[in-house]
Amino acid sequence: MPGTNLTREEKVRILTVIEEKVPVNETVRRTGRNKATIHRLKAVARDLPPASVPPAKPRFGRPRKTTAELQRNLPDVLGNVAQHTIQHRLQKELHLPCRRPAKKPLLTDKMRKARLAFVHKYRHWTPEQWEKVKWSDESTVQYVKMSGNRVRRPVTASRFDHRYTKKAVKHPDHVMVWGCFSGAVGRGGLYFLPRNVTMNSDQYIEVSNEHLLTFYDIHGCLGCLKE
């Protein structure tokens, strides 16, 4: 358990294993602690009387604001507690990590009903039947990557220093890629539209006739679905 202090019970258990002349690797396996922790505890215990357990090191820093009583009465007393303190308690003690929400399509009621109807219609299909389905979809790739979050901590420079700013392009060039695959064979073909051209209904029909149907026959598919 890296990053946590040894409890008294852990110290007793490790020292007991050490007294049994157990090899270090076996001690690591039994206790779940690394070699450095075991050697450090052994060195400290060597200078103490027999059967003594090394005491915990004194803690430094400011006293904790969020005591056990505070945690029981959080709604009433959070007024003067720092945001970082609250975040630390939530993540480290209450095991409530902070995560960015996953990006998923915004579905209307009509779209949900259509998807549920699809699931009910094909819920009895076997894996072998699904392997005969040809799937196709298209995706847009930007020449300049705009997504993603980075954190920088420059010590002396301004946050607007050109070395630490995130470069942005207002309307970046992009290319649209169409592809298909099946469970039985794998990837089919890839088709790249001209630069900065977005797929429309006419182009999709053209791509399907010229590319999708070719791989549909090659893969021996019995159906086709678009993501």
H helical segments located in the chain: 8-19, 24-31, 35-46, 68-72, 74-77, 83-88, 109-122, 127-131, 201-207, 213-218
Tens-digit pLDDT string for the chain (227 aa) = 445 678 888 888 888 888 888 888 888 888 888 888 888 888 888 888 877 788 877 766 666 655 555 556 655 555 566 777 777 777 777 887 777 777 888 889 999 999 999 999 999 999 999 999 999 999 988 887 655 666 666 666 677 777 777 777 777 888 999 999 998 889 888 889 999 888 888 888 888 888 888 888 888 888 887 76
Look up residue 212 and give its two tokens.
């999708």
Helix axes 24-31, 35-46, angle to 10 degrees: 110
Query: Are 140 and 174 within 8 A, CB to CB?
Result: yes
pLDDT tens digits, one per residue of 131-173: 999 999 999 888 876 556 666 666 666 777 777 777 777 778 8
Helices vs. strands in the chain: H and E counts, helices first: 10, 4
